[in-house]
Structure 1
Amino acid sequence: MVQAWYMDKSTANPRMPHRAHPNRPVGLEQLRTLGVLYWKLDADKHENDPELEKIRKERSYSWMDIITICKDTLPNYEEKIKMFFEEHLRLNEEIRYILEGSGYFDVRDKEDKWIRISMEKGDMITLPAGIYHRFTLDEKNYMKAM
């Protein structure tokens, strides 16, 4: 099951967990109030997963791509990692499904406080249009996502 928490205010290495002290966990219901939705799927069968197909059909997802984020495969790796971690918003919903590896998606709550969502293999989230967010790998420095 996905874990989420309020972040500390440290600007040190973004790939660290950055849990607030004391820890302030965030549950799925609180994420839902922000418009962030979550599913746990079987990433090993992503190419022929009826559950994924059901979600895609219900939510009218017609396009997908796969990105592998690691030093060996992503051109301009360090530059891209910095770009992904810059706070931004999109005009459309953003969908991320983790096929391998792990990382963090950070979203702002309604009071502009950062919530960190730890994602690993099989986790899928949607971020609503208009929510400020950013992404970084964790210390493992590898993720393959759809």
Structure 2
Amino acid sequence: MHFIATEGKLDADKYENDPELEKIRKERNYSWMDIITICKDKLPNYEEKIKIFYEEHLHLDDEVRYILEGSGYFDVRDKEDKWIRIFMEKGDLITLPAGIYHRFTLDEKNYVKAMRLFVGEPVWTAYNRPADHFEARGQYVKFLAQSA
């Protein structure tokens, strides 16, 4: 997938047995899942992690996040390399394509609980900018040029 996809609202209160979420997971082959809670009391090395999440980076796989509680922002780069801020709150599901530069930050509530979804085993490696030499970045830039 080479674009940011938001699926509209899902019912985060019933994520454990939501047929809509199951349908999305089956269609996209999201076989692996975990839940992360980002707040001072629940996340070890909170301050360090927050800084890492906010450092501009890319991944070689899609990044899929489903917000179960709380809220925050994903910032992504547009075709002109300017930031676009995407507000994410309870019930939102987003797919950031492999190769897109992005970052994440909490809002003033300083709390989010999110499901992380992967195709196969998770790969947590983030490549801070500049990381233009990766094939995933090249494919994403090519897609942007074609959609211009």
Distance in 1 (CA, whole Å) between partners of 2:59 and 2:79 is 17
Runs of at least 5 residues in structure 2 that lack an aligned partner in the other structure: 116-148
Q: TM-score, normalised by structure 1?
A: 0.76
Runs of at least 5 residues in structure 1 that lack an aligned partner in the other structure: 1-31
Report the 3-state secondary structure (helix = DSSP H, G, I; strand = E; otherwise coil) of the residue aligned with 1:64: strand
Equivalent positions of 1:73-88 (< 5 A) are: 73-88=42-57
Is 1:49–2:12 an aligned residue pair? no
CA drift at 1:130? 0.4
CA drift at 1:140? 0.3
**Structure 1 stretches of at least 4 aligned residues deviating more than 4 Å after TM superposition:** none
**2:27 paired residue among 41, 58, 68:** 58
Distance in 1 (CA, whole Å) between partners of 2:90 and 2:109 is 13
CA drift at 1:76? 1.0
Distance in 2 (CA, whole Å) between partners of 1:107 and 1:81 is 17
Distance in 1 (CA, whole Å) between partners of 2:25 and 2:69 is 20
The residue number in structure 2 matching 1:68 is 37
How many residues are paired up? 114
CA RMSD of the aligned region, Å? Answer: 1.2
Distance in 2 (CA, whole Å) between partners of 1:65 and 1:128 is 19
Distance in 2 (CA, whole Å) between partners of 1:89 and 1:76 is 21
**2:71 paired residue among 102, 116, 123:** 102
The residue number in structure 2 matching 1:113 is 82
Percentage of matched positions with identical amino acids: 83
CA drift at 1:104? 0.3
CA drift at 1:134? 0.3
The residue number in structure 2 matching 1:5 is none
CA drift at 1:110? 1.1
| Structure richer in helix, relative to its length | 2
